[in-house]
Structure 1
Amino acid sequence: MNFIVLGAGAIGCYVGGRLAAQGQNVCLVGRPHAMEPLAREGLTVTDLDGYRALVPAAQLRLAGTLAEAAPGPDTVILLCVKSGATESAARELAAACAPGTPVISLQNGVDNVARIAAQAPALKALAGMVPYNVVLRGAQVHRATAGAIQLQRDAATEPVAAVFNAAGLATALPEDIRAVQWGKLLLNLNNPVNALSNLPLREELLDRDCRQVFAALQTEALGAMARAGITPAQVTAVSPQMLPKVMRLPNWLFTRLAKRMLQIDASARSSMWDDLEAGRVTEIDAICGAVVRLAAQHGAQAPLSRRMCELLSGPRLRLTGVEMKRALGL
């Protein structure tokens, strides 16, 4: 099996790095600024459980474009580009890959498979969900939180899941990947809160005002899902319906009930924070925008998510939890 990671940022380098460390044939496709440190130093892969491996530069296959990666008949594409780049990546895939090539989306959001299929109908677009936070700094990639990858159940993903598990990438094949994606989106609603707070994730989650903003976004999203007949899957130790209630708890009780949620490296931040700091377009449309669109499809509104889209689409803002609550009218 030949894996090509298209969009080798934090998630792509972690998944690809674990596979390469286990001896799998992996090619990382990314921008020059991301590939250059790997070409010099190799890729060091670590996680919060103590795993550490170095994939030497000589053993890494790196490419700047998909054409350079030369996808063949046994290729599996792991698509890790930001959601806003899905259509352009899909067009690139359609031009370079043979019909039927599996393209597994390991991206945030719920709409990427449909976008891939629209641009590359001859390919086999499949959904996936990566639950954890990953930090990429130069030639080191670090998994900062826990969880298991979820892949759409399909004949094409069964051997992939087996390879992932053998490489230490805990992976499951749920019956309803769509429910899993919406369950993950409920957690991703913290990304804009974290980005605006300018705090590390753990510190932000210990700020009750920030959690109250997160809870309000979750409550609004759950309402939109209920109108659409979507039952989100439970992807944490807490059920989706209970998540907003837990987030609103006072700190003394939250810290006791959410110990697993707080098992985060002290330096970890959301990918949306990274994007804002780097001046890149964020994935706010794939997260809060998805809630706005779902509500609109069923004759409702999602004003909190809409406001978050506005806050994340303008000049760089840094807001305390209290200031966020005020900006959202909470």
Structure 2
Amino acid sequence: MKNSATKSPRIVVAGAGAIGCYVGGLLAHGGMQVSFLGRARILDTLRSHGLRLSDYSGMDVSVPPDALDLHEAPAILADADLILVCVKSAATAEMADQIAAYAKPDAIIVSLQNGMGHADTLRAALPSHDIRPAMVPFNVVPKELGQFHRASSGDIVIGAGPAGIDQLMSVAGLDVSQSDEIEAVQWGKFLLNLNNAPNALSGLTLHEQLLNRPWRRLMADQMAEALHVLRAHNCTVRPTTPVPVALVPHILRLPTPLFRRVAAKMLTIDPEARTSMAHDLMAGRITEIDALQGRIIAMGREKSVKTPLCEAMLLAVKQAEQTGAKPHSPESLRS
């Protein structure tokens, strides 16, 4: 990582969506040199209104339009010392090709993406680069006029390595640490991300869903199904919450009054928060269901482990992508 007393590293956010705008915006607000690579649909709004970044605890900061470096062409990657890959799962290979075409060989690349395996996709196209997988525990809600709202708690973890990337990325409102067990940490977040689909199909906010015992029981059963698959593959899982992973399904199944007391930290979310998949369906966009439930289904088949709930979620989301989102019940998804 190039860093001198006179010039800070240039960071390029490759994928100016919700996570990219939120993380990149806080880095820019913290005084870092940040460029945003994205689509005109989002960048035009930022050109007009700037970036406003808020969170569930009351933080509310802004980056004015004239302080934002916005690009639709991938040539900006040539200036990057650090590239934060924030594109959707299906766009990872395309972004890897763009990085290979433009980026400097010593640019460090961090994948701030949902799901597993994105770092492997990047390494396959970029064998000479320092590639770091990461885990982003919180969800970010896009709002109107360039506002991005962090709706849940947690700190980013990236794969361990040289260059002090965690210290570089830690600014006001954003804490980043490193782990030499990043894959296990990612699996812990992956299990929680499996609720993206049930939440998107429920029509409820995350808070409403978590206070609804039938939905929690469905979440618990799906998580238990996925844990069975991961154990069959001998995957190590590190929890992203203080609760051991194996206990989470049991906690979710508790009666609601007891669940409220035991899982207080799980309820530290904005009352209006929904998962990114819910926002994708509402906007008519293709989701990341293949990288979540789809991966568990494929891994289950490899070990002859049945995954009926994940299959039901995938089918329902695929239908919603084609015909529009309609609220489901836990019972309809089980059947």
TM superposition score category, shorter chain reference: over 0.9
Q: Give CA deviations for 1:81-128 in whole Å, capped at 9, x if unaligned.
A: 011111111111111112242111000001111111223333332200
In structure 1, the residue matched to 2:209 is 204
Q: Which residue of 1 aligns with 2:121?
A: 115
Q: 2:40 aligns with which of 28, 32, 37?
A: 32
Report the CA distance between 1:71 and its aligned residue: 2.5
Give the match for residue 6 of structure 2: none
Distance between the aligned counterparts of 1:17 and 1:317, measured in 2?
31
Find out whether 1:154 has 2:161 as its counterpart: yes
CA deviations 1:156-210 (Å, max 9, x no partner) are 4xx2210222343111111200001110011001100100011111111111111
SS of structure 1 residue aligned to 2:52: strand
| Contact 1:126–1:152, Cα closer than 8 Å, also in 2 | yes
State the 1:70 CA deviation. 4.4
Counterpart of 1:162 in structure 2: which amino acid?
A: Q
Whether contact under 8 Å (2:16, 2:36) holds in the other structure is yes
Please state whether the residue corresponding to 2:264 is helix, strand or coil: coil
| 1:1-330 equivalent positions in 2, closer than 5 A | 1-67=9-75, 69-72=76-79, 75-137=81-143, 138-156=145-163, 159-314=164-319, 315-320=323-328, 323-329=329-335
Counterpart CA distance in 2 for 1:99 and 1:82 is: 24
Q: C-alpha separation between the residues in 2 aligned to 1:70 and 1:179?
A: 30
After TM superposition, give the deviation of residue 136 of structure 1 in Å. Answer: 1.5
CA distance in 2, matches of 1:296, 1:104: 30
User: How far apart, in 2, do the equivalents of 1:271 and 1:178 lie?
Assistant: 22
Displacement of 1:275: 0.7
TM-score, normalised on structure 2?
0.92
Asked if 1 retains the 8 angstrom alpha-carbon contact of 2:17 and 2:38, the reply is: yes
CA contact (8 A) 2:81 2:106 kept: no
Query: What is the rounded CA distance, in whole Å, between the counterparts of 1:207 and 1:317 in structure 2?
Result: 20
- Which segment is superposed worse, 218-227 or 43-52? 43-52
Distance in 1, matches of 2:230 and 2:20, equals: 29
SS of match in other structure, 1:241:
helix
Contact 2:229 2:305 in 1 (8 A): yes
Query: Contact 2:77 / 2:99 at 8 angstroms: preserved in 1?
Result: no
Instruction: Report if the CA contact (8 A) 1:94-1:123 is conserved.
Output: no
Please list every run of 5 or more consecutive structure 2 residues that lacks an aligned counterpart in the other structure.
Answer: 1-8
* Structure 2 contact 26–171 (Cα < 8 Å) conserved: no
Matched position secondary structure for 1:261: helix
Distance 1:126 1:298 in 2: 28
CA deviation after TM superposition for structure 1 residue 255, in Å: 1.1
Give the Cα separation in 2 of the matches to 1:298 and 1:269: 33
In structure 1, C-alpha distance between the alignment counterparts of 2:30 and 2:333, rounded to whole Å:
48
Aligned length, in residue pairs: 323
Of all paired residues, the percent bearing the same amino acid is 38
The AA in structure 2 aligned to 1:266 is P
Cα offset, 1:141, TM superposition: 1.1
Unmatched 5+ residue regions in structure 1?
Answer: none
Q: Distance in 1 between matches of 2:99 and 2:38?
A: 14
Alignment RMSD: 1.5
TM-score normalised to structure 1 length: 0.94
